[in-house]
Amino acid sequence: MFERPHHQKIAKLLRAMDGDLLARAKCYFGGGTAIALKLGEYRESVDVDFLCSDKAGYRLLRNAITPPTLGTVLRSPVKHLRDVRTQRDKISTFLEIDDAPVRVEFVLEGRIDVDGALDPELSVPVLHRDDMYAEKLLANTDRALDRSQMSRDLIDLAMMIKAWGPIPSTALEKAEGAYGRSIYDYFDRGLALLHDDRYRDECLQAMAMAPDLGAGIIATLDAHRPQPSLGDAVPPTTSRSH
C-alpha cells in the first residue's frame, strides 16, 4: 500500500486499531502523517495524531483506555514502549511496530469543531479535508517562524492545494474564528522564510522530499495566499474639517 518503510509500519498500526470505536468517539486521524499518506507519500512523517472535538466522544475514548495500555482502542496486541499518559486534553504513548517506535497521541481539540469519516484504505476515521486545511492554518500560526519545524505546515498546505484545490472558505472561517487575522500574517511571514532557497532545500531534505518539489511549492503558495475578507478590513482614517 505504501512505499516508505515507516509509513508501512504506521499503516500496520492503524489496522490494529478499532476504527469503529474511534468513529463512535468522533476521533479522527489527522495532521501531517494523514495528509502525507493520502497524497502519495510526498514526505516522511513519523507520528500518529488523532483529533477529537466532541467531549462525549473524548470521554468514550478515555473510558476505553486502560493505562498503562491503550486498552480496547487496539484490536490486536501491540507492544507499548511507554505507559499511556492521560491528561485533561491529551492521551499519549509510544508503541513499537516492527522494531520501530511510533508516537501516538489523541488530542481534545478545543479551538474548532472537527469532523471526519471512516477511511476504508486506512481502516480508521480520517479528518475531513476542510478541517485538515483549518488545522494546518492553526499549526502554521503557532510555529511558522520555528525553523526546527522545517515549515512543514506551509509545505503540507502547498501539497494539499496542488492535489485538492485552494484553501476552502470554511477552513479559513474556522481558523480565523479561533486565531483571528494572525493566520494571514503568519502565512505571509512563513512564506517569506520559505522563499530562502537554502532554508527551503534544508526543509525538503529533512523530510525526505524530492528536491525538485521546492519551486512548485513556492509557486503554489504565492498563487494561493489567503486574504482576509474585505469586510474585515480596517477602514481608513478620515480627517474632519473644522
Mean pLDDT in order along the chain per 10 residues (242 residues): 97 98 99 98 98 98 96 97 96 98 98 98 98 99 98 99 98 98 98 98 98 98 92 43 38
Task: Specify whether 115 is located in the same domain as 166.
Answer: no
Last residue of a domain, one of 87, 104, 127: 127
Q: Is 242 inside any structural domain?
A: no
Rg of the chain taking only CA atoms, in angstroms: 19
Q: Where are the alpha helices (DSSP H) in the chain?
A: 5-15, 19-24, 31-38, 55-64, 129-143, 152-164, 169-179, 182-194, 197-206, 214-223
Q: Is 232 inside any structural domain?
A: no
Task: Specify whether 30 is located in the same domain as 103.
Answer: yes
Task: Specify whether 86 is located in the same domain as 160.
Answer: no
Task: Specify whether 71 is located in the same domain as 106.
Answer: yes
Question: Which domain covers residue 168, as residue numbers?
Answer: 131-227
Task: Specify whether 59 is located in the same domain as 123.
Answer: yes
Query: Rounded to whole angstroms, how far apart are CA atoms 63 and 180?
Result: 35
SS3 171: helix
Query: Rounded to whole angstroms, how far apart are CA atoms 35 and 24?
Result: 22
Query: Rounded to whole angstroms, how far apart are CA atoms 182 and 228?
Result: 10
Task: Specify whether 214 is located in the same domain as 123.
Answer: no
SS3 133: helix
Last residue of a domain, one of 86, 105, 127: 127
Task: Specify whether 103 is located in the same domain as 146.
Answer: no
| Angle, alpha carbons 80-39-16 (nearest 5°) | 25
Last residue of a domain, one of 82, 106, 127: 127
Query: Rounded to whole angstroms, how far apart are CA atoms 171 and 142?
Result: 16
Q: Is 47 inside any structural domain?
A: yes
Q: What is the pLDDT of residue 1?
A: 86
Task: Specify whether 135 is located in the same domain as 123.
Answer: no
Q: What is the pLDDT of residue 231?
A: 56
Task: Specify whether 103 is located in the same domain as 142.
Answer: no
Query: Rounded to whole angstroms, how far apart are CA atoms 138 and 136?
Result: 5
Q: Assess contact for 112 and 131: CB atoms under 8 A.
A: yes
CATH number for position 56:
3.30.460
C-alpha cell at 52: 477529537
Task: Specify whether 22 is located in the same domain as 116.
Answer: yes
Query: Rounded to whole angstroms, how far apart are CA atoms 189 and 32?
Result: 20
Domain count, the chain: 2
In 10 A of CB 149, how many CB atoms? Answer: 17
C-alpha cell at 32: 501531517
Q: What is the pLDDT of residue 240?
A: 40
Q: Is 236 inside any structural domain?
A: no
Task: Specify whether 43 is located in the same domain as 141.
Answer: no
- First CA to last CA distance, the chain: 74
Q: What is the pLDDT of residue 233?
A: 46
Residue (of 160, 41, 44) closest to 102 by Cα position = 44
Q: Is 239 inside any structural domain?
A: no
**C-alpha pair distances (Å), 87 with each of 91, 106, 191:** 6, 10, 34
